[in-house]
């Protein structure tokens, strides 16, 4: 005959064992040296190094653009190619003789154009400013890759921890089903209790499948940065170490140094040069022509020198409009730069508030919610042992404790993600 006291004790031991496992898993991991982690595990720092060392076209493209603009800075600052002119002048058509007529000549001429004012120098500095903007764009993409790697790694870290937590609870519920089935044989429990336990087991199985699905999505996103081989390595089980962000006031003061802001500041510099180039169009451009005409029959040869000059007399619909358009374009670039700075500041304020509030929520969960959830489970165990509550209430209390534990892990991951956003804005990459 199955002993009812032993059966109840088995239920209590199973729930107590599950609670001990949860307490161990929920406790914040100790900050240890990442060098102590197994070499097969992928740490966050290693993931960042792999992402930056990869031949990612997203990171390499701005460097190529910058090099292209630097080459253009040299070519665009050179004088136009000289032009060679060769002419058979005044050739008689009745005999085609070179010596028949005194004006028959074989002419050779060279012309060289000189652009208006300091146009060439402004073109050179404009290309240099464009190259500088591309260098800032490359730095921005470097920070974006670091941020994206961190966020995807942290998502995978959360799903790994959540999977372990739910799997432990699933094992505990499976053991409980065996115990309840044994108690059911004695007539104390009803089939409803068994069905309830089996339902909860199925729901935990579904949760594991969903966690696996979301972990696969996060792993695929991480593989975009670190490669398939590294992304399929197990994630380090310790909490990643990241630098602590500076105070929000400090970060606001240095937002103008953010590569996104500096990239748009470089575009303002480019627009400045366009204004300068447009202003130079009021000045005359020059072209010098040098020619030599050879004549036959011992006649004297001819030499000629000429100058061609632009005369910008009617400027209202050309030069004036070019200058006005360049100035408006420059103002648009300034507004774009100011918009980026405002967006960066808004993002900083929102992220910093989120980071602070997440810290408060984690503290509340760890000091109050988890404690209350554990006390509720223990009270349900006591009530169940005394016959006051049924098994369904006991399972609900345990699953509520599981949800609270998963919430803590989620909050910790979200706080680290907010911290990564702040480091992206501040400029610390810890790579």
Looking at the structure, tell me whether residues 132 and 190 fall in a common domain: yes
> Does residue 255 sit in the same domain as residue 386?
yes
pLDDT level of residue 189 (50, 70, 90 thresholds)? low
Confidence of residue 144 (pLDDT cuts 50, 70, 90): very high
In this structure, the answer to whether residues 47 and 128 fall within a common structural domain is: yes
Q: Does any domain span residue 431?
A: no
pLDDT at 166 over 70: yes
pLDDT, residue 278, reads 96
Which domain does 141 fall in, by range?
Answer: 4-79+120-281+318-426
Same domain, 332 and 401: yes
pLDDT at 188 over 70: no
Q: Is the domain of 146 the same as that of 204? A: yes
**Mean of pLDDT values over 231-235:** 92
Is the pLDDT reported for residue 388 higher than 80? Answer: no
CATH assignment at residue 19: 1.20.1600.10
- pLDDT above 70 as % of the chain: 88
Q: What was the pLDDT predicted at 170?
A: 87
pLDDT of residue 33: 39
158 and 264 in a common domain: yes
Is residue 25 domain-shared with residue 155, that is, in the same domain? yes
Domain endpoint, select from 296, 315, 334: 315
Residues 163, 175 within the same domain: yes
pLDDT (tens digit per residue) in 267-316: 999 999 999 999 999 999 999 999 999 998 788 999 999 999 998 888 99
User: In this structure, is residue 394 part of a structural domain?
Assistant: yes
The answer to the question of residue 421 being in a domain is: yes
- 19 and 127 housed in the same domain: yes
Residue 218: inside a domain, yes or no? Answer: yes
Pick the last residue of a domain from 315, 337, 370: 315
Residue pLDDT, tens place only, 52-88? 999 999 999 999 999 999 999 999 999 999 999 999 9
Same domain, 100 and 138: no
Q: If pLDDT is split at 50, 70 and 90, which confidence band does 154 have?
A: very high
Asked whether residue 356 is domain-assigned, the answer is yes
291 and 169 inside one domain: no
Read off the pLDDT of residues 332-379 as tens digits, 9 standing for 90 and up: 999 999 999 999 999 999 999 999 999 999 999 999 999 999 888 888
Query: Do 274 and 162 share a domain, yes or no?
Result: yes
Q: What is the pLDDT of residue 379?
A: 87
What integer pLDDT is reported at residue 429 of this predicted model? 59
Point out the domain boundary residue: 315, 333, 361.
315
Task: Report if residue 168 sits inside a domain.
Answer: yes
Overall number of domains in the chain: 2
Query: How confident is residue 25, by pLDDT bands cut at 50, 70 and 90?
Result: very low
More confident position, 430 or 326: 326
- Whole-number Å distance between alpha carbons of 13 and 20: 10
């Amino acid at each position: 005959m199955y002993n009812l006291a032993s059966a109840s004790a088995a239920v209590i031991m199973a729930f107590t064992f599950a609670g001990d496992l949860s307490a161990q898993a929920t406790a914040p991991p100790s900050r240890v040296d990442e060098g102590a982690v197994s070499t097969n595990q992928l740490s966050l720092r290693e993931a960042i190094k792999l992402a930056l060392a990869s031949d990612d076209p997203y990171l390499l493209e701005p460097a190529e653009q910058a090099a292209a603009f630097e080459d253009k800075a040299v070519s665009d600052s050179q004088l136009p190619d000289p032009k060679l002119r060769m002419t058979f002048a005044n050739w008689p058509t009745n005999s085609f003789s070179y010596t028949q007529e005194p004006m028959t000549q074989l002419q050779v001429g060279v012309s060289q154009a000189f652009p208006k004012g300091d146009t060439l120098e402004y073109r050179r500095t404009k290309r240099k400013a464009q190259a500088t903007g591309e260098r800032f764009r490359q730095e921005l993409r470097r920070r974006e890759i670091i941020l994206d790697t961190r966020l995807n790694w942290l998502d995978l870290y959360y799903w790994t921890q959540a999977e372990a937590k739910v799997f432990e609870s699933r094992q505990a519920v499976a053991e409980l089903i065996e115990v309840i089935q044994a108690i059911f044989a004695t007539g104390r429990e009803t089939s409803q209790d068994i069905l309830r336990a089996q339902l909860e087991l199925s729901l935990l199985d579904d949760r594991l499948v969903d966690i696996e699905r979301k972990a696969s999505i996060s792993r695929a996103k991480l593989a975009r940065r670190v490669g398939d081989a590294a992304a399929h390595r197990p994630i380090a089980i310790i909490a990643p170490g990241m630098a602590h962000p500076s105070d929000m006031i400090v970060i606001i003061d240095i937002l103008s140094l953010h590569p996104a802001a500096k990239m748009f500041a470089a575009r303002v510099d480019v627009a400045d040069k366009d204004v300068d180039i447009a202003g130079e169009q009021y000045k005359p451009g020059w072209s010098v022509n040098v020619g030599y005409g050879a004549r036959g029959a011992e006649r004297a040869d001819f030499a000629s020198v000429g100058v061609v000059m632009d005369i910008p007399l009617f400027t209202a619909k050309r030069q004036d409009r070019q200058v006005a358009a360049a100035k408006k374009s420059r103002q648009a670039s300034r507004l774009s730069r100011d918009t980026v700075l405002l967006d960066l500041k808004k993002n900083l304020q929102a992220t910093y508030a989120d980071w602070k509030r997440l810290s408060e929520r984690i503290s509340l969960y760890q000091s109050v919610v988890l404690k209350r959830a554990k006390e509720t489970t223990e009270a349900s165990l006591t009530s169940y042992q005394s016959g006051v509550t049924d098994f369904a209430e006991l399972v609900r209390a345990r699953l509520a404790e599981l949800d609270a534990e998963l919430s803590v892990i989620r909050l910790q991951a979200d706080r680290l993600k907010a911290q990564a956003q702040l480091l992206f804005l501040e400029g610390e990459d810890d790579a």
